[in-house]
């Protein structure tokens, strides 16, 4: 890898970390499409590297969320436990799909879904704006009280298992931390305030991505390498990508987590939807 490619990878890691801190995701939803656009198709290596860097993204975001007392730890632990059961299924499905274009199309479809979901939530929020004070609607720090059954002191909702299970499959299949589905699911199933859902997602992700990253790296080592390379070459390339993504991911996540507790989330959600749509078009080779 030359110097220019290394710098590009560092920047991609920082962008993924920023998205991770802002939206409670592992960063893979930004990192994997950008790596594909810049370096070409290599989904298995990109997924494994992204999952390793997601460990640093979560680690960078969690301290700020802890200071804000926004993480619901019991819910996070139960969801993370469920994700460990399904992450193996996701990795197996990913390894069984031998055509990389199929994985890229699945990822593109998922990105389009995320963009559509965010747009739908924005439309819903605008319709309901008349019943909510402007400062409550726009600022994440003005969250509504947490409903009974979702606080760390209360009983853990059974929805934690559902959310964790979905997270694990997404982590194994697409190399995502799973926060991009966990946050909307938490909002829909538990009515957690958005700020708390994002913070709790960051805590849930770190356990999932550690296991998913180990399984992904192992699957790459066991797979038949492309002609002209060895399994050791593939492993070294994956770890190099991860090492370049991690520093930017750590710093970007710290910045993103700070912004999340200060900035209005509606404009950020709209920007996130647009970015996901553009990346979906690129991944599906429709925007080229």
DSSP 92-161: HHHHH---HHHHHHHHHHHHHHHHHHHHHHHHHHHHTGGGS-HHHHH-TTSPPPPPTTSSTTSPPPTHHH
In a domain, 24, yes or no: yes
Q: Kindly state whether residue 144 falls inside one of the protein's structural domains.
A: yes
Between vectors from CA 277 to CA 25 and to CA 11, what angle results, nearest 5°?
Answer: 55
**Residue 260 structural domain:** 3-283
Q: What is the pLDDT of residues 65-116, one digit of tens each?
A: 999 999 999 899 999 889 988 999 988 888 888 777 888 788 888 888 888 8
**Within the chain, which residues score under 70 in pLDDT?**
129-157, 224-227, 285-288
What does pTM read for this prediction? Answer: 0.77
Tell me the H-state helices in the chain.
3-23, 28-39, 43-67, 73-96, 100-127, 134-138, 159-174, 179-189, 194-222, 231-260, 265-283
Give the pLDDT score at 240.
94
What is the C-alpha separation between 67 and 90, in angstroms, rounded?
A: 33
| pLDDT given at position 225 | 66
**Structure confidence at residue 130 (pLDDT):** 58
| CA 83 from centroid of its chain's CA atoms | 14
Q: Compute, in degrees rounded to 10, the torsion defined by CA atoms 23, 194, 271, 266.
A: -150
pLDDT in the model for residue 242: 94
Q: pLDDT tens-digit profile of 260-283? A: 888 887 787 788 788 788 878 877
What is the distance between the alpha carbons of residues 62 and 14, in angstroms, rounded to a whole number? 16
Angle at 280 between CA 279 and CA 286, to 5 degrees: 100
Tokens 């298992």 — which residue? 161
Task: Please check whether residue 230 lies inside any domain of the structure.
Answer: yes
Nearest to 177 by CA among 14, 50, 22: 50
Position 261 scores a pLDDT of 84
Q: Which two tokens stand for residue 188?
A: 């829909």
Say how far apart CA 35 and CA 242 lie, in whole Å.
12
188: CB partners within 8 A, 6+ apart: none
Distance in Å from the first CA to the final CA of the chain: 25
Is 288 part of a structural domain of the chain? no
Please count the structural domains in the chain.
Answer: 1
Cβ(17)–Cβ(250) under 8 Å? yes
């Amino acid at each position: 890898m030359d110097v220019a490619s290394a710098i590009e990878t560092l920047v991609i890691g920082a962008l993924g970390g920023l998205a991770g801190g802002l939206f409670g995701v592992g960063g893979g939803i930004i990192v994997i499409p950008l790596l594909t656009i810049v370096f070409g198709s290599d989904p298995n290596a990109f997924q494994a590297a992204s999952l390793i860097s997601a460990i640093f993204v979560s680690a960078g975001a969690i301290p700020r969320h802890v200071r804000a007392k926004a993480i619901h730890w019991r819910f996070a632990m139960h969801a993370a436990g469920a994700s460990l059961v399904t992450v193996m299924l996701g990795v197996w499905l990913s390894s069984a799909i031998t055509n990389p274009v199929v994985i890229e199309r699945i990822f593109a479809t998922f990105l389009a879904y995320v963009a559509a979901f965010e747009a739908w939530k924005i439309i819903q929020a605008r319709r309901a704006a008349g019943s909510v004070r402007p400062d409550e609607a726009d600022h994440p720090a003005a969250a509504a009280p947490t409903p009974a059954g979702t606080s760390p002191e209360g009983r853990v909702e059974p929805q934690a298992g559902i959310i964790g299970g979905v997270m694990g499959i997404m982590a194994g299949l697409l190399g995502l931390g799973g926060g991009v589905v966990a946050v909307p699911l938490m909002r829909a199933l538990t009515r957690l305030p958005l700020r708390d859902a994002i913070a709790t997602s960051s805590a849930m992700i770190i356990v999932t991505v550690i296991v998913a990253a180990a399984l992904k790296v192992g699957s790459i080592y066991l797979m038949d390498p492309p002609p002209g390379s060895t399994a050791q070459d593939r492993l070294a390339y994956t770890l190099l990508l991860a090492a370049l993504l991690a520093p930017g991911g750590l710093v970007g996540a710290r910045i993103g987590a700070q912004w999340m507790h200060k900035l209005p989330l509606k404009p950020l959600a709209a920007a996130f939807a647009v970015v996901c749509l553009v990346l979906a078009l690129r991944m599906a080779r429709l925007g080229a």
